[in-house]
Each structure stands twice: as C-alpha cells, then as structure tokens.
Amino acid sequence: MKPAFLLACYLSGLPAGTMHLANINNCKYFQKFLHQQEVRIGDETKNYECYCKLVKVNEEMRLY
C-alpha cells in the first residue's frame, strides 16, 4: 500500500467523479478550479463540491 490523495467531487450532493493524485499540491490545484463551479443542465443550475482526502492505494495504482 502507498499513500495517495483522493480528489472527490460531488454534483449537488451526488458523486460525480474521483481522481487519485500523487501529492497534496496537485489535489489542491484541481480542487481550486472545480470547487463551486456551476453546471447548467437544462433549466437547473448545479454546483460542484470537491474535497481532497488522504487514502491508501495499491502499489500498482497509477497516480497523477
């Protein structure tokens, strides 16, 4: 097992995607641009909420 930072994004409370990153700086960089971003779907406007979390992953997992 090795450490990684999970960037987890939610669209109006529902999981919208995840990404495993090698360091906290990369995670915070992507979080800065995605967090509170508005997405318009039809007449609805929804917001992204993104968080960085330290997790353990398998040695084989590719980190960005």
pLDDT tens-digit series, residues 23-41: 999 999 999 999 999 999 8
Categorize the per-residue pLDDT at 19 as very low, low, confident or very high, splitting at 50, 70 and 90.
Answer: very high
CA distance 11 to 4: 23
Return the pLDDT at 41: 87
3-state secondary structure of 33: helix
Cα 9 to chain centroid distance, Å, stands at: 4
CA distance 34 to 60: 27
58 has a pLDDT exceeding 90: yes
